[in-house]
Amino acid sequence: MSPPLVVVLNGPNLNLLGMREPEKYGNATLDDVEALCAEAAETLGLAIDFRQTNGEGELITWVQECRGRASGIIINPAGYTTTSIGLLDALLAVGLPVIEVHITNIHRREEFRHHSFVSKAATGVIAGLGVQGYALALEAMAGLIAPMDDPDDAA
């Protein structure tokens, strides 16, 4: 049997990780984050599909495409966290466990970053633990999707 697929989605400007504002977001590049996720997924027996886009519509389409294909979604919605009802609606409609990740602690930052529309669709939220938050989200996701693979639950 193939391992459960977790889709890891990254929103706008996260392609700049490690290249700008390292004092805020650290030195790891998005490629480093993908490698970190691949390593964690391998250990946890998960497959990942890791993506980044600057487009709101593309992000929404990717969420929709998870239906029937993925077992869970990990998402750092970046700038769309605080603006996108469309993204919220897609995450609510997809019917999968969702973990929202932020590299920084959005609650220690500017007031406008505090309210996340996406959190309304999230099973859990990880913020402020740097890029390690992605590995922690994968660990939590493995726990959330494991019961689906338990043959005892099939009865």
Contacting residue, 3, 32, 49, 113, with ligand CA2 by CB under 6 A = 113
Contacting residue, 13, 119, 123, 132, with ligand CA2 by CB under 6 A = 13
Catalytic residue check, 107: no
Query: Closest distance between ligand CA2 and the C-beta of residue 23, in Å?
Result: 10
Catalytic residue check, 25: yes
Known binder of ligand: residue 113? yes
Q: What is the DSSP letter of 77?
A: -
Contacting residue, 54, 104, 119, 132, with ligand CA2 by CB under 6 A = 104
Q: Is residue 54 part of the contact set for ligand CA2 (CB under 6 A)?
A: no
Question: Of 2, 91, 6, nearest to 40 (Cα)?
Answer: 6
Contacting residue, 2, 20, 111, 147, with ligand CA2 by CB under 6 A = 20
Which amino acid does the sequence have at 104?
A: T
Could you say which residues in the range 65-84 bind ligand CA2, by CB under 6 A?
76, 78-79, 81
Q: Is residue 122 part of the contact set for ligand CA2 (CB under 6 A)?
A: no
Looking up tokens 């990942």 gives: 48
Which helix (H) or strand (E) element contains residue 74? strand 72-76
Which amino acid does the sequence have at 91?
A: L
Long-range contacts at 88-91 (CB < 8 A, ≥ 24 apart): 88/117, 88/118, 88/120, 88/121, 90/60, 90/63, 90/64, 91/63, 91/118, 91/121, 91/122
Known binder of ligand: residue 76? yes
Strands 98-102, 5-10: pairing is unpaired
* Positions in the binding site for ligand CA2 (CB under 6 A): 13-14, 16-17, 20-21, 25, 76, 78-79, 81, 102-104, 106, 113
| Binding site residue list | 76, 89, 103-104, 113
